[in-house]
Amino acid sequence: MNIGLLGCGAIGELIVEAYADGVLEDINIIMVYDQIREKAEKCASKISKSPKIADSIDELVGTPDIELIVEAASQKAVKDYALKILENGKNIMIMSVGALVDKEFYDLLAQTAKKRKRKIYIPSGAIAGVDAIKAASIGKIHEVELITRKPPSRFISDKIPGDIKIDPDMKEPIVIFKGDAKTAQNFFPRSINVAATLSLASIGPELTKVTIIADPSIEENIHEIHVKGEFGTLKTYVENLPSIKNPKTSYLAALSAIKTLKKISEYIEIGT
């Protein structure tokens, strides 16, 4: 399968490195694009047979040999380009899942994918238990809650709701958000995509509860999930090491993107 890469930041770079190491069999990265050309050049240079660097998003989307475009850029990129990618007859893998909490936009992409007979792939990201939650959603799920803890430095550039201030020298944990997954995405578009993934796999962005804690006592990104439904109770707890390329991104999120690409090209599928 020939793929194009949209976004050459932390996740994009790790995908390219996995490809260069031979992890992605039956996958060919033939083109990369980033608004900052130097990033695209850096990604391309990691591959012995360097992929073409697109001069524009239109070149990436319009290249007929590309079957799948991997979005690893931003929620804005998803909003701006996902529909165009599908309409041009290409599949898409979305990492900036927070863009999909907009139901109208989500429904438009779903309808377009169905009409064009294309696929939208959403990796599980930095959380555990998505397979079980998807299975549970066939029945009735009563309650879904995500509790995320991250070091305060991860939130320095975010718009914190209310009068809460992030102090780099803070000594005690502080709850900086408590609400639903849709609202969480508005305040933390880059650092809480896991809430969107969880909500889409379960009861929706407006019903999924989210608590976000800035915790100076930890170095990991911690995600704890509680689900109750007809199936019983599910609890997962993951301590994610941050990517060395971007502390706001968990390394596991990049690995889930790589595994999703492998799954697309594999002949045996394990899991829901």
- Kindly write down the DSSP assignment for every residue of 5-33, as one continuous string: EE--SHHHHHHHHHHHTT-STT-EEEEEE
Indicate whether 246 pLDDT > 80: no
pLDDT value at position 247? 75
pLDDT, one tens digit per residue, over 77-103 is: 999 999 999 999 999 999 999 999 999
Residue 191 has pLDDT above 90, yes or no: no
pLDDT band at 189 (very low <50, low <70, confident <90, very high): confident
Is 168's pLDDT higher than 80? no
Share of the chain above pLDDT 70, in %: 100
Average pLDDT value for residue range 33-57: 96
Q: What is the dihedral of CA 195, 196, 199, 204, to 10 degrees?
A: 130
The mean pLDDT value for 15-31 works out to: 95
Cβ neighbours of 154 (radius 10 Å) = 23
> Locate tokens 């165009």: which residue?
84
DSSP 8-state secondary structure symbol assigned to residue 272: -
Q: Which domains does the chain have, with CATH numbers?
A: 2-125+252-265 (3.40.50.720), 130-241 (3.30.360.10)
For 76, 145, 201, 209, 233, the CA distances from 206, given in Å and listed in that order, are 21, 12, 13, 8, 21
Handedness of CA 5, 181, 199, 79 (dihedral sign): negative
Of residues 242 and 51, the one with the higher pLDDT is: 51
* DSSP secondary structure string for all residues of 138-171: TS-EEEEEEEEEE-GGGGTTS--STT----TT--
Q: What pLDDT score was predicted for residue 230?
A: 98
For residue 195, the model assigns a pLDDT of 97
Mean pLDDT of the chain: 95
**Average pLDDT score over residue span 208-233:** 97
226 is catalytic: no
Residue 72 to residue 69: CA distance in whole angstroms: 9
* Average pLDDT of the segment spanning 192-218: 97
Mean pLDDT (whole number) for 73-78: 96
From the candidates 33, 223, 254, 255, which is the catalytic residue? 223
Report residue 22's pLDDT band, with 50, 70 and 90 as the boundaries: very high
Residues 135-142 have a mean pLDDT of: 97
Of the candidates 165, 177, 247, the residue with the CA atom closest to the CA atom of residue 212: 177
Q: Which amino acid is at 264?
A: I
Q: Give the pLDDT confidence score for residue 131 in this predicted structure.
A: 96
- At residue 129, does pLDDT exceed 80? yes
pTM reported for the whole predicted model: 0.95
In 3-state terms, what secondary structure has residue 212? strand
